[in-house]
A and B are shown apart, each in its own frame.
Chain A
Amino acid sequence: MLVELGAVGYTYLPRSEAAAQALADVSLTVGSGEFIALIGPTGSGKSTLVQIMAGLVKPTSGRVKFEGNDIWLEKARLPERRRLVGLVFQEPEKQLFEMTVEDDVAFWPRNAGVSAEAVPEMTRAALEAVGLDYPSYRERSPFTLSGGEMRRVAIAGIVVMNPRVLILDESTVGLDARGRMDLAGRIRALNQKDTAIVMVSHDMDEVAESADRVIMLAQGGIVFDGPPREAFKQTDLLAGIDLELPQVARIAARLRRQGLLGGRLPLTLAEIESDILTAFGKVPE
């Protein structure tokens, strides 16, 4: 297992009046090549959980293991072990801190012993992969960028690390539709090369189309862990925590109530298209 959480709990501001338990008794594993979507309502503990999974926050209880090693036992080896996991923060402003876009994206390569000659090329490739033209953006201050441009720089700065586990905390938020599709494609390609992906998202279509495992969080605990098709069948569970179905599944649900569709719950466009064509007596391809 790449990452293993055992009975993890987390309380913000412990020992204070405002103490807030954000996570309780969370256990999960992330294996090589998995594509996990982490979903749950506002405040359910998603960002807290992924910061613990990335080894950036120490849980108040429980264990965190990277490749079998308890990362908080040997503090001296923590920096090196953290390289296993790359986390793109929910808010890019909290991740960008250098004076220029180039320095921000080059931060990891420079600190991970990449040869000085190779760094500019790596930086250029990482920026172009997120759709930013290297010559026009390299000298810009991250804080003069538009929201979506900032988001792209933040993603580039983590993807350039080529981590074995890539965690994206609502990283498609603020991207335009083209940017979202491009990012989805890149993530899928990385996943095919065995990078484990953990994607936090409120976009159920994105989840249905890409993940092969869905973990649902509610009030700091895991309430479901299984394949997307099973996840979106849990209508009571979903309604209970106010999550909605993907667009395709919402259309299908309405057509089922009308008696127009039966059988499987389609999750992708291709699936529902062929189901509807059959129902309307047209021949799907």
Chain B
Amino acid sequence: MSIELNDASFTYTLANGEAIKALAPTMLTVEPGESVAVVGSNGSGKSTLAKLMNGLLAPTTGSVTVDGLSTANAGEMLLARRTVGMVFQNPDNQLIATIVEDDVAFGPENLGLPQAEIRARVDESLKVVGMYEYRRHDPHYLSAGQRQKIAIAGILAMRPRYMIMDEPTSMLDPAGRRDVLATLADLRRDRSVAVVHITHVIEEAAHADRVIVLKRGRILAAGKPGAILSDEILMVEAGLYITRASQLAHRLAAKGVPVASGLITAEEVAEALCSLS
């Protein structure tokens, strides 16, 4: 079981015929229970990669399979979609119903689950994202962060084996962001869900098992977060930057304070400094 990109590439064709090569032929495997963060500059191909993984786009060359089902085959793609949930970069692309709870129920209903099960999943998912009290509201009349939470609840209620999250916390406040990350971590541990998390927040990517850095549609680097995300030369080459906490660690190390390298979050750097005293 896995999502596999086998030299999968994608090219958009504009109305005037111009071709935009968004993703070069790419090899990638994502297994259940894994968490993979994808980072890269604007236009580097992250959302295109996400849409290939859930079958929304079929590869221009090469193949994408989900548990052996090819997304290029319409019938197999529909089956594959049942196990791959996706949160879009713009949650509005995802809101379908005019009542929050109907919207969240849409995914489970398509899976043909019994009503009682759907009810239970919808309530649970809305509580997880802290939007249960808004269940009777029209999702179109909510703040941007609230709408993003509804989109996340919709995916949680489907309980897919793979979750592709395209900047899922971009509009959330710090507490909302923490809650989502904690929920994803629980799902991986308890239900072996795989999470592919696209983000511009480097601190968030630090929580993944594996980080992939995209640059102009190619994988520039892949590996453990500690090795990649604090590597200033690599990150700058990718059009990105290291966290403020990493910057501080580097500056202190350069001045003779023996802080280890590979630290990314504020908490890691703070603990490292405390252990020196």
Residue ranges of A at the interface with B (Cβ–Cβ < 8 Å): 12-13, 18, 20, 40-43, 47, 90-91, 93, 139-141, 144, 146-149, 151-152, 170, 173-181, 202, 204-205, 242-244, 246-248, 250-251, 254-255, 258, 260, 269, 272-273, 276-277, 280, 282
**Which of under 10, 10 to 19, 20 to 34, or 35 or more describes the interface residues of B?**
35 or more
Indicate if B1 sits at the interface (CB-CB under 8 A). no
- Which one of B79-87, B111-119, B164-172, B220-228 is at the A interface? B164-172
Question: CA A244 – CA B252 in complex, angstroms?
Answer: 24
Q: B191 near A: Cβ within 8 Å?
A: no
Q: List chain A residues, Cβ under 8 A from B15.
A: 141
Q: Which residues of B contact A246 (CB under 8 A)?
A: 244
Known contacts A42-B173, A176-B239: A146-B43 contact under CB 8 Å? yes
B173 & A41 in contact (Cβ 8 Å cutoff)? yes
A176–B244 CB distance below 8 A: no
Q: Are A152 and B145 in contact (CB under 8 A)?
A: no
Q: Is the CB of B42 within 8 A of A243?
A: no
What are 6 A-to-B residue pairs whose CB atoms are below 8 Å?
A173-B171, A176-B239, A177-B235, A177-B239, A260-B274, A273-B251
Which residues of chain B are near A205, meaning CB under 8 Å? 244
Whether the pair B256, A254 counts as a contact (CB closer than 8 A) is: no
B176 at the interface (CB under 8 A from A): yes
Binding site for A on B (CB under 8 A): 12, 14-16, 40-44, 47, 89-90, 92, 137-138, 141-146, 149, 167, 170-177, 200, 202-203, 235, 239-241, 243-245, 247-248, 251-252, 255-257, 265-267, 269-271, 273-274, 276-277
Contact of B248 among A13, A40, A176, A248 (CB under 8 A): A248
In angstroms, Cα B175 to Cα A30, docked, is: 29
A178-B241 contact, Cβ under 8 Å, with A13-B141, A144-B12, A149-B43: yes
A180 to B239, CA, bound (A): 11
A138 to chain B minimum Cβ distance, whole angstroms, is: 12
Q: Judge whether B267 and A242 touch: CB under 8 Å.
A: no
The answer to whether A144 and B239 have CB atoms under 8 Å apart is no
Contact partner, B200, options A42, A141, A174, A273, Cβ 8 Å: A174
In the complex, which of the residues B90, B143, B241, B257 contacts A280, with contact meaning CB atoms closer than 8 Å? B257
Closest residue to B12 on the A side, CB-wise? A144
Q: Are B239 and A247 in contact (CB under 8 A)?
A: no
CB distance from A92 to the nearest CB of B (A): 9
Q: What separation, in Å, do the CA atoms of A284 and B257 have in the docked complex?
A: 12
Judge whether B137 and A18 touch: CB under 8 Å: yes
Bound-state Cα–Cα, A91 to B143, Å? 11
Say which residue of B41, B90, B276 sits within 8 Å of A176 (CB atoms). B41
Please report the C-alpha to C-alpha distance between residue A141 and residue B144 in the assembled complex, in whole angstroms: 24
Report the bound CA distance from A177 to B276 in whole Å. Answer: 30
**Which B residues lie within 8 Å of A250 (CB)?**
266-267, 270
CB-based contact A269/B251 at 8 Å: yes
A144 to B47, CA, bound (A): 12
Closest to B179 in A: A242
Given contact pairs A170-B144, A176-B41, A251-B248, enumerate 17 new A-B contacts (beta carbons under 8 Å): A42-B143, A42-B145, A42-B173, A43-B143, A93-B92, A139-B16, A148-B42, A174-B42, A178-B241, A242-B175, A247-B203, A251-B269, A260-B277, A276-B248, A280-B257, A282-B255, A282-B257
